[in-house]
Amino acid sequence: MEYDTAVKVQRLSAFSDGTRGGNPAGVVVGASLPSEADMQRIAAEVGYSETVFAAPHNPGWRVRYFSPKQEVAFCGHATIALGSVLAKVEGTGVFPLYINSGQISVAANSDGTATLTSPSTHSTRADPALVDAALDLFNLALPDLDPALPPALANAGNNHLILALRDRARLAKMNYALEVGARLMREHELTTINLLWAETPQRFHSRNAFAIGGVLEDPATGAAAAALSGYLRDIKWPHDGRIDITQGEDMGARSLLRAEFEQDSNAGIRVSGSTRSMAD
């Protein structure tokens, strides 16, 4: 299919719960990518946590992601939104995506659901100084943390700091100073700080601070879900190859993410969810 050279932004919410919730993303599909300056300007004008830009790149698509403040190496919810758009114009299927860090893919269906396969994952224990700084940021203390899930740096294309809490009520109280959080995240090259609570070994509740992108909280973060899954795989958590994540509930944007993965540490994580038009 030939694509218009004019920039048209489509707005979808990814990882939605039926006709509500999810994380809004801008999607721009064109004959070629706009200039970097224009992509940054468009993302700032759209104002969502990320806008994704895609152009044909045989045998798939060249893809870049921008938050209102800066380019992002990988964004899960925008990838799900892009898959939904591509399915509408290209037909359902698996679409190879060439992002800055390599190749991934998204499989999209006619019902608005899509599944991304993330970059490879890796994780390590978080530096104690970083953990202390993050606890101060959120007005938390070491006893608030779940000892079964030690603080970790997890990566599935981006770095995410994982802080698992002992109880759901503490997660609901998440709050922090945006500028202080942004400085901490810039200093340690973090894309999000993922606060979570494990309801069961396969069911998690999550909140993702995204100060570095100019947003206090992300309602659904596919990249963080993939990074968390890789971390659980690394520590031999009893995940049975799948976890379900509810995110954004405390900010009024309940979002549902499912991650499925093999035990092979070199394999990407499959993260699935639904999309809806922002006109819904």
Residues 50, 32: Cα–Cα separation, whole Å = 19
pLDDT in tens, 237-268: 999 999 999 999 999 999 999 999 999 998 99
Q: Which of 210, 163, 185 is nearest to 65 (CA)?
A: 210
Residues 140, 21: Cα–Cα separation, whole Å = 27
pLDDT in tens, 1-25: 545 556 899 999 999 999 999 999 9
* 105 and 136 part of one domain: no
Query: Does residue 203 belong to any structural domain of this protein?
Result: yes
pLDDT in tens, 63-102: 999 999 899 999 999 999 999 999 999 999 999 999 998 9
Query: Does residue 278 belong to any structural domain of this protein?
Result: no
* 161 and 241 part of one domain: yes
Residue 80: CATH number of its domain: 3.10.310.10
pTM of the predicted model, to two decimals? 0.94
User: What letters, b where the CB count within 10 A reaches 16 and e where it falls short, cover 39-62?
Assistant: bbebbeebebbbbbbbbbeeebbb
User: What letters, b where the CB count within 10 A reaches 16 and e where it falls short, cover 64-92?
Assistant: bbbbbbeebbbbbbbbbbbbbbbbeeeee
Sequence-distant (≥ 6) Cβ neighbours of residue 106 within 8 angstroms: 79, 80, 82, 83, 86, 94, 95, 97, 114, 115, 116, 117
Last residue of a domain, one of 77, 98, 117: 117
Residue 215: per-residue pLDDT: 84
H or E segment and range at residue 203: strand 203-210
- Which residue's entry shows tokens 């190859």? 241
Residues 249, 38: Cα–Cα separation, whole Å = 33
* 127 and 45 part of one domain: no
* 74 and 212 part of one domain: no
- Give the structural domain span for 193: 122-268
The DSSP letter of residue 240 is T
Residue 275: per-residue pLDDT: 98
* 151 and 199 part of one domain: yes
